[in-house]
Structures are given as C-alpha cells and as structure tokens.
C-alpha cells in the first residue's frame, strides 16, 4: 500500500477500506509515514469526513496502536470524564481527586493544549516536578495508592493519538467531528473504564461552537464508546465565556486548589459536583446524580478531595508543598491591569480570542514539540453578566517582561463586549444519554 493512494482516495471523497485505515495508523506510529504525508491525509479527512464504518475502524486502530489498560488487582470501579476543551477548562484537575475520595478510581489520559484551548497535561506539569508520562505499571501503582492517575498518550498508550493530536494542533486540523471523536474515545477505550462522562462544550470558546453540531458530536462519541461496551453519558456545557476566572496553566492550578478547598468560582464547583455525581452513578456508588453530587460536595468540604490531590502530586513527582505555599508554583514576573474601555455589562463576543490571548503571552504552541510558559495568563476580575465602569480592572494579565502583551490586549479587546445586558447561555444546556 502507498499512503499517496489513500490521500488521493479521501481527497476525492472516496471511502478508505479497513485495511487502508489500519495501514495508515500502524505505519504512522511506526515512523514509516512522514508527518507531511499524515497531515495531507488528515486534511482530507477533515474536509471529507469519515463514515460510521471508517470512524469505527480508525478509532479501533488508534486504540490498538498501544496497550489497553486492565486492572485485575483493583476492586474499585474505574470511571473518567473528558472534555472537548475550552478556555479556562480546568474541571478534570479538581474532579478526579474528588471522585477518588469517594472510593472510585480515575485513570485519566488527558491531552496538551489543542488550538486555542489549554490542556490538562500542561496545567498539571506547571506544578514543579509533576510528571504525566506514566507507563502502564506506574498508572496501576498510582491508582492503587491514590485512586487517580493523570497520564498522557505515550509509546505504550494510544501512541496514534499522541502523534495525531500534536499534528492536528500544529496544522489547525482540530474542528472535525470524526477527528475529535476518535481522539477522545480512543484514549478512553485504552483506559479500561467502566463508565465515561463526556463534556461537550458549546459557544465561541469551544472547539465546536454550534450547540447542534456539538450534539451530533456527543451522539457520535456515545455510539462509538458503546459499540465497544463502554457506557458513556454526555453533557453540553457553556464555553461562551471563560470557565472560572483564571486562564493559564499555573493560574488554573491555583483556582483548582481553591475549588478543592471548598471555594473557587461557582461555575467550576457546579461542574465538578455535576460530573462527579454522574461518575459515581456510573460506578454504582450513588443512586442518582443529585445524591452523587452531594457525596462529591462532602468530599470537598471535608478536605478529603484536597488530601487525595496532595497524594497524587507526590505520587507523580510533583512538589506537594505547592498546595500550601502557592508561591512555589511558577509566577510571571509582571502583572498588568487591563481596564474597561467603557461602561456597561461585560460579555464575551468571541471567547476563543481569550484562549489565543494566553497563547500570545507564550502559553500556547504553534509547532510540534514546542515548550510553553506555564506562568503566564489571565485572571478575570469581572465576569460575564457583571456591570463594569470605564476604568475598572477587567483582568490581570500575567506576562513575562512584556512578551506578547500588545497582541494580548488587542485580542482581549476583540474578545469582549461592554453594553446592554447580554443573554448568557445556561452553564449546563443538556444531558445526552443516547
């Protein structure tokens, strides 16, 4: 087989056979297909899509590019949550320890930043020493000791997604239902789970902004997961404004610590309780989502969830002193107040630009393998729907010696609007179960 034939077939709108799909995934992982050839095929898939059979085979080939985790020695149920990504979406970092504090294991393989969205791995790695490149034995050990393993795609675990994810990020090939669905579901199938909660974001800061399109993505992912025997439930949640106040890696860790200490922004806590409640139901540990959410709230408010997070940080090589001495986390040398240009009600006309603004400060990548600055970012002093007066500080910009500051200010000015009261989308739009 020749990858150029596959590129031509898909480019012309044809179907790839199962053998061709397996060939592409296997050879790309083996290093026998070049990144530029893979980029051409992924572009063709982005434009032409995959039918149900192609998507099923594509996803299954990604899963079997590595190992599937099994945990015969762990009696607890294993559940996870994965988001399609957003601006300030830090939910997983507070959620996983809260669920583990209720007796359920969370083997979580996450991603790095993708496009304008930040990644859970990058956020966690802003904790000095924290490592996410766990091999299957280290994942098992972490789950056994703490109930949580924050892992990444490695040469053993979904290596196909490791390559395709990075490739899509560097080539802007992100907003595609089959590429997103196969990326997310392959990771989750490799985790050997009993249940999965999918958070499908909608609004201008989401990877798929249109709620109808997002609904289709949710259905596709649920069908894909269930076809492999994995019970999955999806929620559509708002990304028409940043989630919480912090956007930026270490700044978001601080907000997660606040959440785990029982405080932090209301929207973050609401999603942690909701998804946690659903995860406990999937694990058979709660009779209803509401009852499960109450359990999660108790685990947070009694300090048990923060205790689990401290164990997780130590287990994964991080410095647990950061939890109490937050100035041990990376801090940008300068903070610039960004002020309201007029008076009115704050809203976000293009939340995507908030994510791009953090990228401009050095918090994002434009090439495969590039490093990021974990310290830079934004903390919103005002939130969507609040009245602001000209000259009020809307956000603090945490920057490194002015790097990207001008571009960030321009992007922020384009991201927001100040005027009459906006119609805010509900934080939780829908629960999708089929």
Q: Nearest approach, Cβ of 271 to ligand URA (angstroms)? A: 16
Among the listed residues 136, 77, 145, the one whose alpha carbon sits nearest the alpha carbon of residue 109: 136
Q: Nearest approach, Cβ of 55 to ligand URA (angstroms)? A: 13
Alpha carbon dihedral 120, 124, 130, 132, in 10-degree steps, equals: -10
Residues 6 or more apart whose CB falls under 8 angstroms from that of 162 comprise 152, 153, 154, 155
417 is catalytic: no
353 is catalytic: no
Span 185-204, contacts to ligand URA by CB under 6 A: 187
Options 183, 237, 351, 408; binder of ligand URA; rule CB under 6 A: 183
Q: Show the tokens assigned to 350.
A: 């293009």
Q: Quick check: 180 binds ligand URA (CB under 6 A)?
A: yes
Instruction: Report helix, strand and coil shares of the chain as percent, to nearest 5.
Output: 45, 15, 40
187 is catalytic: yes
Stretch that binds ligand URA, among 179-187, 192-200, 210-218, 384-392 (CB under 6 A): 179-187
- DSSP string for residues in 86-101: -SS--HHHHHHHHHHT
Q: Nearest approach, Cβ of 386 to ligand URA (angstroms)? A: 29
Q: Quick check: 205 binds ligand URA (CB under 6 A)?
A: no
Give 179 or 361: the residue with its C-beta nearer to ligand URA: 179
Task: Give the separation between CA 36 and CA 387, rounded to whole angstroms.
Answer: 49
Cα(first)–Cα(last) distance of the chain, in Å?
38
Among the listed residues 85, 338, 79, the one whose alpha carbon sits nearest the alpha carbon of residue 231: 79
Q: Show the tokens assigned to 326.
A: 């937050």
Q: Per residue in 80-100, is it b (16+ CB within 10 Å) or e — as a string?
A: bbbbbbbbbbbbbbbbbbbbb
Give 101 or 200: the residue with its C-beta nearer to ligand URA: 200
Q: Which residues pair with 139 in a beta bridge?
A: none
Q: What mask of x and - would describe binding to ligand URA in positions 86 to 125, judged by CB under 6 A?
A: -------------------------x--x-----------
Beta strands in 248-392 (DSSP E): 334-339, 344-348, 377-380, 387-388
Q: Nearest approach, Cβ of 114 to ligand URA (angstroms)? A: 5
| Number of residues engaging ligand URA in binding (CB under 6 A) | 10
Element (H, E) at 382: none
Q: Nearest approach, Cβ of 18 to ligand URA (angstroms)? A: 22
Give 178 or 248: the residue with its C-beta nearer to ligand URA: 178
CA distances from 331 to 142, 157, 240 (A): 28, 32, 27
Stretch that binds ligand URA, among 177-185, 231-239, 258-266, 335-343 (CB under 6 A): 177-185
Options 108, 184, 239, 394; binder of ligand URA; rule CB under 6 A: 184
Which of 22, 112, 168, 398 is flagged as catalytic?
168
Q: Nearest approach, Cβ of 282 to ligand URA (angstroms)? A: 19
Options 37, 59, 84, 293; binder of ligand URA; rule CB under 6 A: 84
Task: Give the separation between CA 70 and CA 81, rounded to whole angstroms.
Answer: 18
Catalytic residue annotation? 82, 161, 168, 183, 187
- Which residues would be at the binding site for ligand URA (CB under 6 A)? 84-85, 111, 114, 179-180, 183-184, 187, 207
């Amino acid at each position: 087989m020749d990858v150029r034939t596959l590129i031509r077939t898909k480019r012309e709108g044809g179907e790839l056979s199962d053998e061709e799909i397996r060939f592409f995934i296997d050879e790309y992982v083996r290093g026998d297909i070049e990144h530029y050839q893979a980029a051409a095929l992924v572009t063709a898939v982005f434009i032409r899509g995959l039918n149900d059979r192609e998507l099923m085979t594509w996803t299954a080939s990604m899963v079997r590019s590595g190992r599937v985790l099994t945990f015969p020695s762990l009696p607890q149920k294993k559940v996870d949550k994965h988001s399609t990504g957003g601006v300030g979406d830090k939910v997983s970092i507070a959620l996983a320890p809260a669920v583990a504090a209720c007796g359920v294991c969370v083997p979580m393989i996450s991603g790095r930043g993708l496009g304008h969205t930040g990644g859970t791995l990058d956020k966690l790695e802003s904790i000095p020493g924290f490592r996410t490149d766990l091999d299957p034995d280290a994942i098992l050990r972490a789950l056994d000791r703490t109930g949580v393993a924050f892992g990444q795609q490695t040469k053993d675990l979904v290596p196909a997604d490791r390559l395709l994810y990075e490739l899509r990020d560097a080539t802007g090939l992100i907003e595609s239902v089959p590429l997103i669905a196969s990326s997310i579901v392959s990771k989750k199938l490799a985790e050997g789970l009993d249940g999965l909660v999918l958070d499908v974001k909608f609004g201008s800061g989401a990877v798929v902004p249109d709620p109808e399109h997002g609904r289709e993505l949710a259905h596709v992912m649920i069908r894909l997961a269930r076809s492999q025997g994995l019970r999955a439930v999806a929620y559509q949640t708002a990304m028409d404004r940043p989630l919480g106040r912090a956007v930026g890696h270490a700044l978001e860790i601080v907000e997660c610590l606040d959440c785990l200490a029982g405080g932090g922004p209301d929207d973050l806590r609401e999603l942690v309780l909701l998804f946690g409640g659903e995860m406990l139901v999937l694990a058979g540990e709660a009779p209803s989502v509401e009852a499960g959410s109450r359990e999660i709230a108790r685990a947070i408010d009694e300090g048990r969830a923060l205790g689990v997070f401290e164990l997780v940080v130590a287990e994964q090589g991080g410095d647990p002193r950061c939890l109490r001495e937050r100035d041990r986390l990376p801090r940008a040398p300068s903070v610039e107040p960004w002020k309201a240009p007029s008076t009115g009600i704050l809203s976000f006309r293009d939340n995507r630009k908030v994510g791009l603004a953090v990228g401009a400060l050095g918090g994002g990548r434009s090439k495969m393998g590039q490093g990021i600055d974990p310290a830079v970012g934004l903390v919103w002093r005002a939130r969507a729907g609040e009245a602001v007066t000209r000259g009020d500080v809307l956000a603090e910009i945490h920057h490194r010696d002015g790097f990207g500051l001008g571009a960030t200010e321009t992007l922020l000015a384009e991201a927001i609007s100040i005027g009459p009261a906006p119609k805010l989308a509900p934080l939780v739009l829908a629960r999708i179960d089929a």
